[in-house]
Copies of this chain bind each other. A is one copy, B any other.
């Protein structure tokens, strides 16, 4: 059917979408969410929306379609019903409980990246993976497919190391220590990190306080040549783009069946040969028990081995923030203070040395933990970090006090004496976000007390920082409804009481 182009001046989030008048759609025997092939100078498959506002004889095109086909207002195109994408049959097979093979998964991921699958279909696929679970063969096929449909980094080294955390703990600035520790031993560590999705700061947000983090793969390779380590935002370099598309759906449904393929595909895409994965474990973390975490670790290690990545996992205590700060600027400052040996933050240092140490041992060195600690204490890690900052175009002589923090603050004091019995990661994140983090870099929290600390009545527990005063009011409101930490005696038995008509909230952590 020959149709005239009507440019709609809207974009559709990357997916090629066109609008057809209902009657034209009928004539083509097409119903909404089916696909047409558009022939102009090039060919394109697009998903159809039927509409009564598009006149008969016209094809409404979004910006995406206009660009790909270089269309102009009123130009003529040929439109025909498109054969069913094969991948859809494979998705339907998954819906009926069939195991998917590599070529089938490859086809699904390719169609996803090409924008050939509708929201409906992606959502059904992700839901089926969540409910029916994906086995390790499918996870391997997904990881491989996600690598193959994106860019890859060719560093040209025999050994390339990487670390990853499955996330869920606020204030986790460990990467800012681990990367320079490992890099200062001469290993190449091309660390890509994410920005916060559901948390108060992602590692890319933290690193950005110290230096630029958005680079092309080409520029990333240049940085690695100079400093053999980097901390960049993964979103800019188009490694495993399928993951970003899956994440959108996972976020909207609060499920994350693609956790493992997501992690491992990004590592494989940078060419990692050795990997340490941190699994924070505890009441407020993604993994609630060490039993659960151990099982996850087995899957990660087995998946690593299938992808030819030597992998260790470390289970770490995840019931409270790492170190004393939460929020991009506050966390970058704390990491810098520790690298400069200005401050001794025991849990942060211990976690960083465990992860770096585990990596050293995976690489065949002995006494990894002490080696890591020595590198940190000797100032070599700081020197390396400043080289990385310089290579990424930041100010390599930056000092902690150069980092601006939100000028509005809210100190919270204890109303009673006792001991900090628990902290609630979810509420900490809520407070951090209410204060403005991660968008307001200077927003966040400094903790003066953590689990196990003794507290006098009236003593400072924590201080919330914000860049705008009305956000302090938002924080006050959240604090009036929910407690971030609990103070009491060690012998206190009651956790909380559930009354009639309970409101149950589930925590969902997508940052990974």
A residues adjacent to B (C-beta < 8 A): 8-13, 19, 26, 29, 31-33, 49-54, 60, 63, 89, 91-92, 95-97, 118-124, 126-128, 130-132, 248-249, 251-255, 439, 506
Contacts and interface: CB of A to CB of B under 8 A. Distances in A.
A229 to B, nearest CB: 31
Contacts of A128: 127, 131
Contact of A253 (B8, B49, B92, B252): B92
A253 B121 contact: yes
A314 to B, nearest CB: 28
Contacts of A255: 92, 95-96
27 contacts: A8-B10, A9-B53, A11-B51, A11-B52, A12-B49, A13-B32, A32-B248, A33-B252, A89-B506, A92-B506, A95-B127, A95-B130, A95-B131, A95-B253, A95-B255, A118-B119, A119-B119, A120-B120, A120-B122, A120-B123, A121-B123, A123-B123, A123-B127, A124-B124, A124-B126, A127-B127, A127-B128
Contacts of A131: 95, 97, 127-128, 131-132
Contacts of A126: 124
Nearest to A132: B131
B49 A120 contact: no
Contacts of A31: 251
Given A10-B51, A254-B92, A124 B121 contact: no
Contacts of A54: 10
A53 B10 contact: yes
A91 B506 CA distance: 13
Given A97-B131, A120-B249, 13 more contacts: A13-B32, A31-B251, A52-B63, A89-B506, A95-B130, A95-B255, A120-B120, A121-B123, A121-B253, A123-B123, A123-B124, A127-B127, A131-B131
A253 B124 contact: yes
Contacts of A123: 119-121, 123-124, 127
A471 to B, nearest CB: 11
Top 3 nearest A-B pairs (CB, nearest first) are: A123-B123, A119-B119, A127-B127
Contacts of A253: 91-92, 95, 120-121, 124
A456 to B, nearest CB: 37
Contacts of A97: 131
Contacts of A249: 120
A8 B54 CA distance: 11
Contacts of A95: 127, 130-131, 253-255
Contacts of A63: 52-53
Contact of A119 (B8, B91, B120, B248): B120
